[in-house]
Amino acid sequence: MQVRYLLLGLLVALAFPRQAVTATITIDSGKDLAPVNPLLFGTNLHANDESGEPIKAFIRDIGLSLCRYPDGGGYYYLHRPGDGWGSGQAGWGAKHNLAASYLGCFKNVAQFAKETGCRLTACVIVENGSVDAAVAWVKYARQEKLGITHWCLGNEVYYDQKLKDPQNYAACIKRFSRAMKEADPSIKIGMDFGNAYENRTHRWAEPILQAAGDSVDFIDVHWYAGRSNSGAADWSIIVASPLRIADDVRAFRKMIQECVPGRAIEVCYLEWGIFAKEPGQQSLANALFTADCLGQFHLADVAIACNYNFQEKIFGLIPGWCVAEGWGGNPWNGVTIRPKAMAIKLWTKYMARGGLVETRVADCGTFRQSASWHDLLNYTGREVPTLSAYCTRDEGRKRLTLMVINKKPDSPVEVEVALEGFSPLATAKVATLGGPHYLSHNDDGSTFQSVKPAPPVTVRIAESAFEAAGPRFRYKFPEHSITVIELQAE
């Protein structure tokens, strides 16, 4: 009898195969989560970056709004505003002839920022610089009305021979902060916080906050994720890593409150990106990582963020650099744009209006991340959702813009989208960032330098129309892609 029932059950199952569960995205247009913060669309600017008209047009086109300067400033010495780098001083700065480049002069940097529409955040050289030089810089910025609000003291000073002693750095923070705020009481002073990796022993950030937290207004997190055990580009590690941002920021804020109770100290990411062997750095997978990080930074209420970095062979949004100051390489060919720059553009062009609203993803499936180089830098969860989704609503409540990141490397995902409190027109605009493979890139694959003639554009943003939008609709999101759907109210 039991065998007969088992056979009957098998026949029923064969006749009526179980339907696959459809992934769903539910958007509550009336539930605000966070405003869109333009200061999250930042980059690191270096003295050897180019500064001509094509560069300025590129910055305006992708919508960068903030530049950290100098990039990695602890390695150089800015004597006085306008003097350039390494001017008459011993130390690391003397090893470089950076003043030959246009952006080696801070006055030029200020003009460059104005012409590109970017604000500046400053990296103050405390490793081998003086309080007087920092104060002169603050006074100059105030006099010229440059609008620099955030001034971070040093660049990764936990690697500096003297300042890696927390008590020495705490004393440095008090000394510089007091003098700089006397010059301009409106500015915010930041400390090098590192990330979960630097703070793993509880011997770095905690004693500094306890000793000098009343002189600190923000912490500067430097975070490079995506590294596998071998260093090779592993898509599962790269696209999963943004999921650790929320937990990290909560842990940072908990530490701050325990060390400096009641003090409102902002969390900033002034260097962030992935670290993987080529072509991982330049790949479509990095674009998915970048788009997801920007969404997570918004939800975690990060104050400012600067992707690392604007222009160079490995990390840059574009390849190339200024030949004049002697680092070698070629200037930008004017064509090659890295996929992560396109991911930023999707945010600034389509998503940067109003604020984020509640967006819930369900039944999208999961995958498991490969073993990574260090669990304190990469995501540590066992299961990774296949999709990430973010939605913004404009201030006039006339437009919803949905961004969906499909992390699956090999197949599309069909989704049923449900809109609560919003009825769209049937026609919607669509922009999709994709390419043939998750490691596809637009670079010269042999050197990853800027070359002429430019290599063919493999990863691109394709715009189209979708004619079946409504309060509920279905959409198939391509594999390894970022899709933006712009919905207009009826």
pLDDT(17) > 90? no
Q: Which residue has the higher pLDDT, 84 or 341?
A: 341
d(CA 412, CA 473): 16
CA distances from 216 to 60, 140, 187, 222, 262 (A): 32, 22, 11, 17, 13
Peptide bond into 385 cis (omega under 30): no
Residue with tokens 């990330």: 195
pLDDT(91) > 90? no
CATH topology (fold) of 19-31+354-488? Immunoglobulin-like (2.60.40)
- The pLDDT of residue 20 is 57
Six-digit token pair at 472? 């509920």
Contact 288, 480 (CB under 8 A): yes
Confidence of residue 325 (pLDDT cuts 50, 70, 90): low
- The pLDDT of residue 73 is 56
Q: What is the pLDDT of residues 425-451, one digit of tens each?
A: 999 999 999 999 999 999 999 999 999
Q: Where are the domain boundaries for CATH 2.60.40.1180 in the chain?
A: 19-31+354-488
Mean pLDDT of 372-388: 89
- The pLDDT of residue 157 is 92
pLDDT(342) > 50? yes
- The pLDDT of residue 9 is 35
Mean pLDDT of 365-369: 94
Whole-prediction pTM: 0.92
pLDDT(329) > 80? no
Q: Which residue has the higher pLDDT, 21 or 289?
A: 289
Other CB atoms within a 10 A radius of the CB of residue 34 amount to 16
Q: Which of 481, 436, 429, 478 is nearest to 457 (CA)?
A: 436
Confidence of residue 43 (pLDDT cuts 50, 70, 90): very high
Q: What is the pLDDT of residues 450-482, one digit of tens each?
A: 999 999 999 999 999 999 999 999 999 999 999
CATH topology (fold) of 37-351? TIM Barrel (3.20.20)
Q: What is the pLDDT of residues 189-222, one digit of tens each?
A: 999 998 888 888 889 999 999 999 999 999 999 9
Residues pairing with 367 in the sheet: 384
pLDDT(3) > 60? no
Residues 213-251 as b/e (b if ≥16 CB within 10 A, e otherwise) read bebbbbbbbbbbbbbbeeeebbbbbbbbbbbbbeebbee
Confidence of residue 350 (pLDDT cuts 50, 70, 90): very high
- Any residues with CB less than 8 A from the CB of 11 and at least 6 apart, and which? none
Q: Which residue has the higher pLDDT, 74 or 101?
A: 101
d(CA 202, CA 209): 11
Q: Where are the domain boundaries for CATH 3.20.20.80 in the chain?
A: 37-351
